Amino acid sequence: MDFFLQLLVNGVCVGLLYGISAMGFVMIFKASSVLNFAHGELLAMGAFFFLSLATWGKIPVAAAFVLTLAGCFLLGFLIEKFFLRPLIGEKLIFVIMLTVGLAAMFKGLILLVWGGNLHTYPEFLPASLELHLGSITIVPVYSATLVISVAFLVLFGLFFKKSSQGIFMRSVADNQKAALSLGVHVRRVFALSWAIAAMVACMSGIVLGIINGVNVHDLSAIGMKVFPVVILGGLDSIGGAIIGGIIIGLLETFTGGYLSPSLRDVVPYIALVFILMVKPYGLFGLVEIERV
Amino acid sequence: MKKPSFHPCGNFRESYAEELAVFDTWFGRVSLLVFLILLFGLAPFILDRYLLYILNNIGIMAIAAIGLNILIGYTGQISLGHGAFFGVGAYAGAILATRLNLPFFVCIPAAGLITAMVGMIFGIPSGRLKGLYLTIATLAGQFIIEYVLIQWESLTKGTMGITLPEPNILGVNIAGDKAFFFLIFACLVAMTWFAVNIMRSKFGRAFVAIRDNDRAAEGMGIPIFRYKLLSFAISSFYAGFAGALWAYYMVSITTEPFNLALSVEFIAMVIIGGMGSMPGAIFGATFITVLNEVLRFATGALMNVGWIAGLGLNMAPLREFVFGLAIVLFILLEPKGLAELWRIVRSSFRLWPFSY
Amino acid sequence: MGEILLQLNNISVVYSNVIQVLKGVSLSVARGHIVSLLGSNGAGKTTTLKAISGLLKPENGEVTDGDIIFNGVNIQNQAPEFITRQGIIQVLEGRQPFKYLTIEENLRVGTATRPGKPYKEDLEMVYHYFPALVKRKKALAGYCSGGELQMLVIGRALMAHPQLLMLDEPSLGLAPLVVQEIFRIIKKINEEHATTIVLVEQNANMALQVAHYGYVMENGKIVMEGTAQELSDNPDVKEFYLGMAASGIAKSYKDVKSYRRRKRWL
């Protein structure tokens, strides 16, 4: 029973991480309908910026965090401006392959600058965040993850549902021409959504880095694992991303715990194929409204 | 029917036969023939072993790229699983050859057929899914196949790998780059010929109709699911065929090369070569294979430059970076790929000196 | 005619550098008027609207000649973001709602030209004009009927407080009673808010009933203009747009004439 509970808690924690990692991905999809294969590399960029600033630059953690977010905001903005803007309205495969190309570029760049080794951050989370549930302990990073993911969920939920900027973003994703006709600044919306999404991604990268250490290969593998998570939750639902993340996390830890550790990494993709066959728009995604 | 010896400056076709013709002009047919004679007659005898090895690799990759082009360029379905399909073909060939001791000319087509079946399984989601959802389904296929190849040890020997026997045709053993050159390029010519002709048939037209507007195609009475599956099957047949050929050429195979990066390379070949163009797929395969080799040399050479070595930088990731950059630049600058560049070059010759 | 709000001087529009659609169109719209633009399919009505609102650019079109002056500002070939902020809002043909947004969110997108300003009162105003939208305000627009959507997109444009509202075929595909309702509201908006309206319509009868002034376009040119009354009384307009003259009965020489005139129209 204890084993089961421990697996449950681990699963939820890992799942929350996946959920957080997926949020930036969902944002990009929501605002510009782009499937971002470079997401894992964006996570890594954030984690490494922070690493350089906090560990090697000896800048206080809070300042380094803010600087990293600002840097990633700029990075997202530049990616949109130089790479994705020329492709607005192009065929799906070009957009997908562009992000694949970007992923290779970023990965190469990161490996060139920081190398492929595992790096770790200094400890900076207060130990008081440690939670005890009966016999089970939740380490500070996980409770911090929980807090961060809930905060982001609420924040983005409000942003997209209530704020004008959020509604404009959704309108652009929905019908670009109509949005243009109403004076929505479409280019600005695209730039902004990439900037924000990159920022969210890099924040997730930092959280992942705190827990697992910073390594390009691991982070880009997580970028791939985002796919089952978002498909399960629905590609355009941020809440769905968190829930999808938790389900995938549980699936992984239970498979790893009870069936076989080697199956662990592939089980999300098996689940993915089944979901696609049964419920292609995910648990919380919008069903495509197609009228002729 | 008399064929013009030069390209006309516009579309002056008068019959369906002309529309369907593979070669517009006698000149095109003759120049291809001359090219093939030169290729088979000269290349294996004047190139050294290393260049021949690269050429052979290009030939194998081109077969797979042509297959993927049928799926992506002509049917409009994106597959991120072709790296794994290539692997399935390689393993199917290797297992048939080592376990059942089947002769090689049975093994290779059989490997293609097995891969076609696997491809159809992962094409099933295409019945319900479109566009990016299908892409993600094939991505999952890539990971699942990789897993099966590694874990099904009783069949694939897992990470140990399999060593293949020398192929043998009518008592003649095929070994060495020169012998393989003839084998691979004969296959490439046959497979290209086959693909070109599929696209001229009812099936090819149905594929293109599905690519351009699947709902309209369905309205015209094309059973789109069946044709999508067929396209998956044909394209994975090519991947499997190429994979089995590669396994024989490499002699021993492991699961390692058949990863997502290989799938990405295949798509890159199709895009850089030019989607929906048969010569394009061959150009793309050439470009990517040569690029890989050049980058390997370049990074190796850079490592030995004093001041870079002094910095302690590992230049190997530069390969990945340049590879990504090539994809990005082609998409941004020439999305129709090398085939379009080739066409521009040709037509500027054709229209010289009065180009417009 | 009162003060001129919008003036098109001899404009030409070319798509993709090849296809010339407008060949020297000049028209003027007086402040507070409803001006209707009539013409058969392909006459260039929608293109004229897009030239004004700046929506040509995404379709690879360009104003190559002439100028468009709105409120004394030159707006030809400006970005839509700029033009909409001058107070021109175009309601696109075929309704174009945001399918995945609710009715109320759709309306909120209408405030894009003045982000951050309060919009509650405007919502009330739109619901006042279109009471049918109130009970559907939480529904996704993708699941609303054609009539509701037409009301929605007009309401959405009103949210921007336009000085000039351009409606592209608001009656497209709607039941006759709904069309009447929509035109009644258009008239009301014009009267209560002094909003200037440019109305592109196939339903010439309805359009001339509400309009003050009208232009008839044909093959990318303005071929006739006049007050709504003049146009309604014109025998050609009567015959080919309003369907009132009985051309079938006409015989002999008149047939020839009618044929010539008809050829010009269709």
Domain ranges for chain A: 22-223
Strand partners, A230: none
CB contact under 8 A, A105 and B328: yes
For C33-73, write each residue's pLDDT tens digit: 999 998 888 888 999 999 999 888 888 888 998 899 999 89
Measuring CA to CA, how many Å separate B169 from each of B44, B101, B104, B105, B131? 19, 14, 8, 7, 43
Please compute the mean of the pLDDT values over residues C3-26 and round it to a whole number: 90
Q: Which of A128-137, B14-23, B316-325 has the highest mean pLDDT?
A: B316-325
Q: Which chains touch A (3 or more CB pairs under 8 A)?
A: B, C
For B255-278, write each residue's pLDDT tens digit: 888 888 899 889 989 988 888 888
Complex ipTM > 0.95: no
Which chain A residue is nearest to residue B322, measuring alpha carbons? A105
B337: closest CA among B288, B300, B297?
B288
For A171-215, write each residue's pLDDT tens digit: 888 888 899 899 888 888 888 888 888 888 888 888 888 877 888
Residue C225 DSSP label: E
| Residue B1 pLDDT | 47
For C108-118, write each residue's pLDDT tens digit: 999 988 877 88
Average pLDDT along chain C: 85
Residue C139 contacts A, CB cutoff 8 Å: no
Residue C261 above 80 pLDDT? no
| Residue A126 pLDDT | 65
CB contact under 8 A, A273 and B133: no
For C133-156, write each residue's pLDDT tens digit: 998 889 988 888 888 999 999 999
Answer yes or no: are the C-beta atoms of B43 and B263 closer than 8 Å: no
**Cβ atoms < 10 Å from Cβ of B257:** 15
Domain ranges for chain B: 26-346
Answer yes or no: are the C-beta atoms of C248 and C241 closer than 8 Å: no
Domain ranges for chain C: 4-99+160-233
Residue C194 above 80 pLDDT? yes
Q: Which fold has domain C4-99+160-233?
A: Rossmann fold (3.40.50)
- Residues B141 and A60: their CA atoms lie apart, in Å, by 45
Band (B290; pLDDT cuts 50, 70, 90): very high
Measuring CA to CA, how many Å separate A188 from each of A164, A194, B217? 14, 10, 38
Band (B6; pLDDT cuts 50, 70, 90): low
Please compute the mean of the pLDDT values over residues C225-236 and round it to a whole number: 87
Band (C202; pLDDT cuts 50, 70, 90): confident
Strand partners, A225: none
Chain A residues with beta carbon closer than 8 angstroms to that of C84: 181-183
Average pLDDT along chain B: 83
Residue C256 above 50 pLDDT? no
Alpha-carbon torsion, ordered B75, B76, B79, B80, to 10 deg: 150
Residue B300 above 90 pLDDT? no
**Touch test C–B: 3 Cβ pairs or more under 8 Å:** no
| Residue C107 pLDDT | 92
Q: Which amino acid does the sequence have at C136?
A: R
Residue A145 above 80 pLDDT? no
Residue C255 above 70 pLDDT? no
Q: Which amino acid does the sequence have at B160?
A: M
**Touch test B–A: 3 Cβ pairs or more under 8 Å:** yes
Q: Which of A56-70, A97-111, B28-42 has the highest mean pLDDT?
A: A97-111
Higher pLDDT, A144 or C225: C225
Please compute the mean of the pLDDT values over residues C11-23 and round it to a whole number: 89
User: How many angstroms from the chain centroid is the CA of residue C190?
Assistant: 13
Q: What is the DSSP string of C118-180?
A: --HHHHHHHHHH-GGGGGGTTSBGGGS-HHHHHHHHHHHHHTT--SEEEEE-TTTT--HHHHH
Residue C91 contacts A, CB cutoff 8 Å: yes
Please compute the mean of the pLDDT values over residues B198-227 and round it to a whole number: 87
CB contact under 8 A, C112 and A177: no
Residue A292 above 50 pLDDT? no
Chain A residues with beta carbon closer than 8 angstroms to that of C156: 182
| Residue C57 pLDDT | 82
For B102-114, write each residue's pLDDT tens digit: 888 888 899 999 9
Please compute the mean of the pLDDT values over residues B135-139 and round it to a whole number: 86
Q: Is the overall model pTM greater than 0.90, yes or no?
A: no
Band (A170; pLDDT cuts 50, 70, 90): confident
Using a pLDDT cut of 90, give the percent of chain B over it. 17
B248: closest CA among B165, B190, B170, B158?
B165
For B155-183, write each residue's pLDDT tens digit: 777 777 787 777 767 667 777 778 888 88
| Residue B9 pLDDT | 62
Pick B26-346's CATH classification: 1.10.3470, 3.40.50, 1.20.272, 2.60.40. 1.10.3470
| Residue C233 pLDDT | 85
Strand partners, C74: C69
Which two structure tokens, joined as six digits, stand for B23? 């070669």
| Residue A125 pLDDT | 65
Tell which of A83, A269, A274 to mutate to test the B interface (max B CBs under 10 Å).
A269
A64: closest CA among A192, A202, A252, A218?
A202
Chain C residues with beta carbon closer than 8 angstroms to that of A290: none
Tell which of C109, C161, C200 to mutate to test the A interface (max A CBs under 10 Å).
C109
- The sign of the dihedral angle between the CA atoms of A47, A52, A55, A60 is negative
Residue A223 above 90 pLDDT? no
Band (C266; pLDDT cuts 50, 70, 90): very low
Tell which of C50, C100, C102, C159 to mutate to test the A interface (max A CBs under 10 Å).
C100
